[in-house]
Amino acid sequence: MSTTIFHNPKCGTSRNVLGLIRNAGIEPTVVEYLKTPPDHAALRTLLQQLQLPARAILREKGTPYAELDLGNPKWSEEELIDFIVQHPILLQRPIVVTPKGAALCRPSEKVLEILDQPQQGAFSKEDGEPVVDASGQLVCKD
């Protein structure tokens, strides 16, 4: 099984997660889900891997979440998945699937929990915040 990232190249968190994956020496399958959105069955499988309900992977910011009234508890799991299929921008990102598991990687350091290879060197986020030191160890935050 390979590593897959559901990626939006316009998202800084998604770019940082992709960088951390590559810093572990892994070249993932990159699914730009806005260009090639997952279908209903693929989303159902992804949710099973994440062990999350559809509501947990809905993105509100910059999406039609409010206009569609998706905060309303009347929507079933299947209906929420249908909304994501119809409007892939609703999919929270980045989601990463590896041989060790799947995770919604917010914050970006969350990806380190499911990578099956260690970091190979220093890594800083785009904003300059260090995540991994030169020896490949997670930088502790105060």
- Is residue 105 part of the annotated active site? The answer reads no
Question: Mean pLDDT across the stretch 35-61?
Answer: 97
* Domain assignment present for 138: no
Q: What is the largest CA-CA distance in the chain?
A: 50
Catalytic-role residue among 2, 8, 11, 21: 11
DSSP output for 86-109: H-GGGB-S-EEEETTEEEE-SSGG
Question: Mean pLDDT across the stretch 79-96?
Answer: 97
Give the mean pLDDT of the chain.
95
Output the domain CATH number for residue 110: 3.40.30.10
Domain count, the chain: 1
% residues pLDDT > 70 (the chain): 98
Taking 70 as the threshold, does the pLDDT of residue 89 lie above it? yes
Q: Comparing C-alpha atoms, which of 9, 13, 6, 21 is closest to residue 113?
A: 21
Condensed to tens digits (0 to 9), the pLDDT of residues 54-84 reads: 999 999 999 999 999 999 999 999 999 999 9
Taking 60 as the threshold, does the pLDDT of residue 53 lie above it? yes
pLDDT of residue 140: 77
* Domain assignment present for 139: no
* Domain assignment present for 71: yes
Residue 69 is part of which domain span?
4-132
Residues near 43 by Cβ (< 8 Å), separated by ≥ 6? 54, 81, 84, 85, 91
CA distance 122 to 124: 7
Condensed to tens digits (0 to 9), the pLDDT of residues 99-112 reads: 999 999 999 999 99
* Domain assignment present for 41: yes
State the DSSP H helix or E strand holding residue 42, giving kind and residue range, or none if neither: helix 40-50
